Chain A
Amino acid sequence: MNKLDDSAALPPTASRDIKTIVNAGLKRRHAAERRFRGYGLTAISLGLAFVVLMFANIIGKGYPAFWQTYIQVPVTFDPTVIDPDGRRDPKALENADYAALVRAGLRGLFPQVEGRRELRSLYGLISNNAPLTLRAQVLADPTLIGASQEIWLLASATVDTLIKGNIDRTLDESLRPVKDNELGWIDQLHASGKIQRKFNTILFSNGDSREPEQAGIRGALMGSFYTLLITLLLSFPIGVATAVYLEEFAPKNRWTDLIEVNINNLAAVPSIVFGLLGLAVFINFFGLPRSAPLVGGLVLSLMTLPVIIIAGRAALTSVPPSIREAALGMGASKLQMVGHHVLPLAMPGMLTGSIIGMARALGESAPLLMIGMVAFIVDVPRGITDPATVLPVQIYLWADLPERAFVERTSAAIMVLLGFMVLMNGLAIVLRKRFERRW
């Protein structure tokens, strides 16, 4: 009875009142929701627009770099120039004057050209690595000697730039990098089909060069590869082991708290500080070689470790305790529990964290400047102690150069770098999906 009395005590108008009260505020609430959705949509479309703009810009600028201009030159492998002794001695073949063959070929194309200056300009149409190309062909096949062949030789960067339409022909001759006579030869060659654009394999097979048409990213790519290899080999096992120890084995006390705080802080330390540390410790104290991927990898490991440890610990805590109890209840030792059950379940999260950490290391340039990986290095590194540079540093170096041909190569290198980033992040997603298990 009492309870019934209580409900009767409620004011009889309450139910009607609540309706009007709610209705009054409803419009305002819906408006707030619509506004918030509007903000979100605007932010996303703005972000997407900028991403599209950035990619359009980079691809538009970088795409031409994947094509390179070649000039077809009739070359006569004159035995009197290459091998005057007629003994086919490899040493003699190596040191022969192949530049003379190129010059002769060009003179053959334009017999009317005379005078030192004019001829110099004519020879300048072809990149200065043409003799090396010819030498390689002769050394590979000595029967060429005495024959005549039409050979596609790499054009100089100026010709390439002109063919790609990046030089304004209407400019006054004195302001133009291509003079009128050169313009005439190039047009003549173009008209007769002796100028062609081919896929730029040099970009992927050569190291850096002062001549833009001979510059490639292979040196930087290999440098990045070795550096990341060192980083992965060091930071992944150490990071995972640290995460497992801190999360599963370490006692929870003041010391482990201190370590935890420090690891979290390390993740936020500016990367250039790690570079200074590497310079002071690895190079100056331990005497490791400068500019080497070994030191670069060590420095990037220091930078990546906190990221992997934090991701690893988060992955470990997300493993349900029931699995741990099941394993311990079966009589598994703690290490067996971790090794057989917890770690496999935490692996997707750990891998994702590690790959994202590695992707960050791949894009890092500041700490590597400190340890000398910013040097101009032509040779492709063949080991972890060879001097090398890495992709982002190569981009930084090329971005500084004034030649038009380096501008497009800078963008091309950025495209390659971004490609690897996307690849690594894709790999992270694939690995996570593959190793993900339900419990």
Chain B
Amino acid sequence: MSIEEIQQQIIEEFSVYEDWMDKYSYLIELGNDLKELDPKDKNDQNLIKGCQSRVWLVAEMNDGKIYFRGESDAVIVKGLVALLLRVVSGRTPKELVEADLHFIDDLGLKQHLSPTRSNGLLAMVKQIRLYGVAYSRIAD
């Protein structure tokens, strides 16, 4: 499935939730289900420091694809991290550079990407792109 197709799939999954409480309950469930990072990966190098919550992001290149793992100390952010990982992990650098990540906006969760929320998510999205750019240069 392409990045776009997975985004559409997620949007469809969320469409069954009519009110915010159900939507957030699902997000919390996703957050709780996200596999925890190995404590040694939760180091300063992988840390994306937000003012409110912290996000860790680990990237590994394998067979021309970038595999991401991540976590946050806030469970709602963790849920969003889980969704992001589903979309971006296992992609080629080229796919990541060209990706239009719009699904968070479409889910009505855009506020979590606002700079004022400073939960580390916006910086995480930027970091994912940077990994894409960096690895595509290495590949060249």
Do A and B pair up? The answer is no
